[in-house]
């Protein structure tokens, strides 16, 4: 299964929760989160990041 990460820079408030939940794929650059990759192949910590984001800036869909 391939999943696509949709990330809204506009919704991101730079709180860093996604980086704590999934440091493998998120970093903070210039006060906004940035996913290193937007395509994943397994259910991993990206789903934790999606769930924990207070502003729903991360949405993961099945390809
Ligand atoms: S958890 Fe959401 S609002 Fe917070 S830095 Fe990550 S993407 Fe941005």
pLDDT for 61:
98
Mutate to test the pocket of ligand 1, among 5, 8, 18 (most ligand atoms within 8 A of CB): 18
User: Coil, helix or strand for 4?
Assistant: strand
pLDDT for 60:
98
- pTM equals 0.95
What's the chain's average pLDDT? 97
pLDDT for 52:
98
pLDDT band at 3 (very low <50, low <70, confident <90, very high): very high
Buried b (16+ CB within 10 A) or exposed e, 6-25: ebeeeebeeeebbbebbeeb
3-class secondary structure per residue, 12-23: CCCCCHHHHHCC
pLDDT band at 62 (very low <50, low <70, confident <90, very high): very high
- 24-29: long-range contacts (C-beta < 8 A, 24 or more apart)? 25/49
In angstroms, what is the span from residue 9 Cα to ligand 1's centroid? 9
- In whole angstroms, give the CA distance from residue 50 to residue 48: 5
């Amino acid at each position: 299964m391939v999943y696509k990460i949709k990330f809204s820079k506009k919704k991101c408030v730079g709180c860093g929760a996604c980086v704590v939940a999934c440091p493998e794929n998120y970093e903070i650059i210039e006060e906004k989160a940035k996913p290193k990759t937007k395509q994943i192949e397994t259910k991993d910590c990206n789903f934790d990041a999606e769930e924990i984001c207070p502003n729903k800036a991360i949405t993961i869909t099945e390809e």
